[in-house]
Amino acid sequence: MRAEILCVGTELLLGDIVNTNAAYIAKELAAIGVDVYYQTVVGDNNERLEESLNLAFSRADIVIMTGGLGPTYDDLTKETVAKYFNVPMEVDQASLDSIRGFFKKIGAEMTKNNEKQALMPKGATVFHNNWGTAPGLALTDGKLTAILLPGPPGEMKPMFAAYVIDYLSKMSNKVLVSKNIRLFGIGESKIEDMLHDYMKSSSNPTIAPYAKIGEAMLRVTASGKDKEECEKLIAPVIKKINEILGDYIYGIDIPNLQYAVVEELKEKGLKVATAESCTGGMLSEFITSMPGSSTVFDCGVCSYANNVKSKLLGVRDSTLEKYGAVSEQTAAEMAAGIRAISGADIGVSTTGIAGPDGGTPEKPVGTVYIGIDSENDRRVIKLNLSGRRSDNERYMVRYRSAQNALFAVLETIRKHY
């Protein structure tokens, strides 16, 4: 089956709202074996909406539409679909009762125009909206199918999960299963170079690299009659990739690097403490954003000024005077200092030049040192994180510094505990 995603709303075209619906729907469709070749956004204009719907059905069996189901005059999605399938509109009493019940529940007056949301193309399968007022629907003539959902993601996503997946699964004879391999310390081009022949020769599963900020991801996707068959196809591919890129892999099907660190710390019963300069608390924020972080993180110090480095962390004045705040020596003493005052198993520090000013020929913007201090692992990593000059260069240096610090902690855990 081929589907096209058609999102309706002038606010999407103007950039007032980010179109997260298309990404969500595409991912969910892939999971049940529905191919998506096109995504379209169209404004609240009847003529252009008709044109977009005709084009979508010329190249897809299923068109999934979001938006344009509201009570106002320019909400035209249902009417346009009814016209395409040549069916009249009629009141769905259950939907009307549900809408009235919603307004009664929230203690608000229901205006007359809200009754428009209960009008449905004749013969439609109605998806009742327990998260808002506008119902969704599916309409088919046996060959082509239109699925209409509200635009707000808080309504669209739960309705898709509650109704649409089951509706479409009954129409599909295959499923797709993907595994996301997350990597750090290696770029997309290097991954492609190392896996080039293997990726070209692998058709089921397929292997696709994706670049992310400071890291990369490999998506391994298999097609089969059920999830079990797909899992069997994927297993040897992941094993092979691990043999080639194992040093860079920090997890499979996990959300991010900080999740991997916190889970490893919990599993080993360890604690980490942070001493930050250039990252300004970002490293601590990454860690504490994870559920359960309170069991592995007791203390973080944001030591931006040199006197804080010396008074709180015990960095020697002679070290700061001789080598400077941005140095291997200072990073090492910061990591040791935070470990000493916190009692943590692992101390990690960051110090560097985030820019846009402050760089020198010897230490340009983007020069960063990551310090690690633990019973079995004491080291300092020097990084050059400079890139193109941009409005967010400072943020990116800080962000990537925090990422590298997290990965350094992960390496320490896996190699020494």
pLDDT per residue of the chain (417 residues) written in tens, 0 to 9: 899 999 999 999 999 999 999 999 998 888 777 889 999 999 999 999 999 999 999 999 999 999 999 887 778 899 999 999 999 999 989 888 888 888 888 888 888 888 888 899 999 999 999 888 889 999 999 999 999 999 999 999 999 999 998 898 888 777 888 899 999 999 888 998 999 989 888 889 989 888 888 899 998 989 898 889 999 999 999 999 999 999 999 999 999 999 999 999 999 999 999 999 999 999 999 999 999 999 999 999 999 999 999 999 999 999 999 999 999 999 999 999 999 999 999 999 999 999 888 889 999 999 999 999 999 999 999 999 975 555 688 999 999 999 999 999 999 999 999
Least Cα distance to 267 among 251, 283, 245 occurs for 251
Q: Which CATH architecture has domain 2-169?
A: 3-Layer(aba) Sandwich (3.40)
Listed in order, strand segments (DSSP E) in 242-320 are 249-252, 272-276, 297-302
pLDDT at res. 390: 55
Cβ neighbour number for residue 108 with a 10 Å cutoff: 9
Q: Quick one: tokens of 185? A: 């310390």
DSSP string for 225-254 = SSHHHHHHHHHHHHHHHHHHHGGGEEEES-
Residue 300 zone, left/alpha/beta (φ > 0; ψ -120 to 50; rest): beta
Phi, psi of 267 (to 5 degrees): -60, -35
In the three-class reduction of DSSP (H, G, I as helix; E, B as strand; rest coil), residue 5 is classed as strand
> How is the chain split into domains, by residue range?
2-169, 175-252, 257-416
Range 257-416 has CATH code 3.90.950.20? yes
- Give the per-residue pLDDT at 391: 62
The CATH number of 175-252 is 3.30.70.2860
> Is 65 in contact with 149 (CB distance < 8 Å)?
yes
Total-model pTM: 0.76
Q: Tell me how long the chain is.
A: 417
For residue 189 the two structure tokens come to 């081009």
What are the strands of the beta sheet with 297-302, ordered from one edge?
297-302, 272-276, 346-352, 367-374, 378-384
Contact predicate 407/185, CB 8 Å: yes
CA dist 132 and 151 (Å) reads 11
414 phi and psi, to 5 degrees? -75, -30
Using CA atoms, how far apart are residues 207 and 217, in angstroms rounded to an integer? 10
Which of 178, 69, 220, 176 lies closest to 133 in space, CA to CA? 69
User: Which amino acid belongs to residue 314?
Assistant: G
Amino acid at 27: K
Compute, in degrees rounded to 10, the torsion defined by CA atoms 115, 120, 125, 130. -20
158 prior amide bond cis, ω within 30: no
